[in-house]
Chains A and B, each alone.
Chain A
Amino acid sequence: MTRTVTLEDLAARIGPGAKIAVAPDYAGVPMALAREIIRQGPGGLHVVCVPSAGMIVDLLIGAGLVTTLETAAVTLGEAGGAPRFQRAVRDGTIRIMDATCPAIHAALLAAQKGIPFMPLRGIIGTGILENRPDWKTMQNPFADSPDPIVAIPAIIPDVAIFHAPEADRFGNVRIGRRRELATMAYAAKKTLVTVERVVAGNLLHDEASAAGVLPSLYVDAVAVVPEGARPYGMWSGEYDTDSAEISRYARMARTEDGFREYLGLAALEPAR
């Protein structure tokens, strides 16, 4: 049974060293949860962007909580590059595992199916493959002539996190057509969700929209956090992305001091 908990309790379920899958900017970014994670400070995180991310990852990196980042891209969109990410890459303070979008989807799909890897076209001859010793090129076992194909190992996140418009009291969560959220949850050992609201009734009872609902079977805990994606917007229409706020962050986060000031931190505590 899914538990409805406070935001503090939700974040407390993420321990140091966890491998966390994070929703992309267009699918409900759990920003409030990220700020609470930063307050609690579990270090040594391995963050997997599904398949790319923006400010949420920049915040976690800036707060010193990330040791490994697996992503197809990190950007603040119109506000430009992600400053703490860029800095950490240049200084070598995080281990970057550059990927490409479909490879991250495929790795999660392998986890969803309980298989060790997923073969994928493309990628051969890229600098990405060259720098991913964990990805292997193999011969297509069904071809008679040479046909190299890349095997992407499964990614099994310890935790998947995202923000959604609504859950019911059983823990079923509306994800609409944001199917990557289901992929993350199927693949992860644990899924933690923040929602705008809890609705009456059972979301699975409406046949017309049940396919856009992630069943509570895959959801470990839900916290009600209105506007939990801000400054990112919600695809379900509650609010739009606040570009001015993201730009303000981009400017402040250019320096370490500005970053701390943005977060309201006097000084960063070392990660626990």
Chain B
Amino acid sequence: MSVPATHRERLIVAISRLLDGCRHVAVGASSPIPAAAAMLLRAMKEAEDELIYVSVLGSQEHNFFTNGGVELFDCAAQGRIDAFFLGGGQIDGQGNINLVGTGTYPQTNVRWPGSFGSAYLAFLVPRLILFREEHTARVFVEKVDFVSAPGTSAPEVYRPGGPRALLTGLGQFSFDRETARFTLQTIHPGHTLEEIRAATGFTFDLAPDLGITPDPDPATLALLRGRVLEEVSECYPEFAMSARAELGAALSPAASRATATRAIP
């Protein structure tokens, strides 16, 4: 296993670091990277004899809800869920997210699926992690066209939860609920601050110790490539297959060269 961490493995490990200390992590639909991160945390904590609950929506194996779709929300409202993930077609500098569309509502030019549970969970889950791999100025805008979930609320609004961090394909930010601003904490290897600035439509602060996103250690990588990929494959078979293919290609460059040669007539 001398293959260095892939980009997607780095993201998974970065998220699992953000989840450290959680007892119950819930993962929404169509979220293989967060699901893998939660499963990685569970596997790592198991070695320390600590029990972590992971609820992956859409999974039979890794989901113990028996009270229908409402149970996730009821759990969150009672503080029984420590962490959850949200993406966004647009995310702005105040931590607002938009899952509805661009342009003037309701006749938006581009219509996305809709807000799902974001307008609720963003208020109630203490460690909300914003995750959007595409880091471009069309996603990270100055101001969202529609607020599915606000980044912060007025003081009288009951709000134990909210965004804590934002992870993208380029870097990792923290979110300050007092100032409603993002702070860049680390830049993923191979990328630069200039690149991130150019791809971000809002201003953000820089951590005093701004550094490079650390690479996972070999033991973590082994756990991720073994048990965790196996667990993820139940709910996300295509994701697991492509992750394995990526590793396979890196493991046997000769084989992939041979394939490449054959492909050229």
Q: A92-B107, A180-B68 are in contact. Are A146 and B119 (CB under 8 A)?
A: no
Residues of B within 8 A of A131 (CB): 105-106
The residue in chain B whose Cβ has the minimal distance to the Cβ of A183 is: B68
Residues of B within 8 A of A124 (CB): 123, 153-154, 157
Report yes or no: A127 in contact with B147, Cβ–Cβ below 8 A: yes
| Cα A73 to Cα B86 with chains together (Å) | 14
Flag B100-139 by CB within 8 Å of A: 1 or 0 each. 1100011111011111111111111000000000000000
Residues of A within 8 A of B107 (CB): 89-92
Report yes or no: A121 in contact with B158, Cβ–Cβ below 8 A: yes
Report yes or no: A71 in contact with B147, Cβ–Cβ below 8 A: no
- Is residue B70 within 8 Å, beta carbon to beta carbon, of the partner chain? yes
User: Given A92, A178, A180, which contacts B106 in the complex, CB threshold below 8 Å?
Assistant: A92
- Is residue B69 within 8 Å, beta carbon to beta carbon, of the partner chain? yes
Report yes or no: B100 in contact with A72, Cβ–Cβ below 8 A: no
Q: How large is the interface on B (under 10, 10 to 19, 20 to 34, 35 or more residues)?
A: 35 or more
- Is residue B171 within 8 Å, beta carbon to beta carbon, of the partner chain? no
- Is residue B73 within 8 Å, beta carbon to beta carbon, of the partner chain? yes
Q: State which of A100-108, A188-196, A252-260 sits at the interface with chain B.
A: A100-108
Query: Interface SS of chain B: helix, strand, loop or mixed?
Result: loop
Considering only CB atoms and an 8 Å cut-off, how many residues of chain A contact the other chain? 53
| Cα A51 to Cα B73 with chains together (Å) | 12
Report yes or no: B148 in contact with A90, Cβ–Cβ below 8 A: no
Report yes or no: B108 in contact with A89, Cβ–Cβ below 8 A: yes
Residues of A within 8 A of B111 (CB): 81, 85-86, 89-90
Min Cβ gap B120→A in Å is: 4
Report yes or no: A122 in contact with B66, Cβ–Cβ below 8 A: no
The residue in chain B whose Cβ has the minimal distance to the Cβ of A100 is: B119
Chain A residues packing against B (C-beta within 8 Å): 24, 26-27, 50-52, 71-75, 77-78, 81-82, 85-86, 89-92, 96, 98-103, 105, 109, 120-129, 131, 145-149, 177-183
Q: Which 3 A-B pairs have the closest CB atoms?
A: A179-B68, A73-B114, A75-B113
Q: Show 23 A/B contacts (Cβ-Cβ < 8 Å), sorted by A.
A: A27-B68, A52-B116, A75-B114, A78-B30, A90-B107, A90-B111, A92-B107, A100-B116, A100-B148, A102-B70, A102-B77, A103-B119, A105-B68, A121-B120, A125-B154, A125-B157, A126-B119, A127-B146, A129-B119, A131-B106, A145-B156, A179-B69, A179-B71
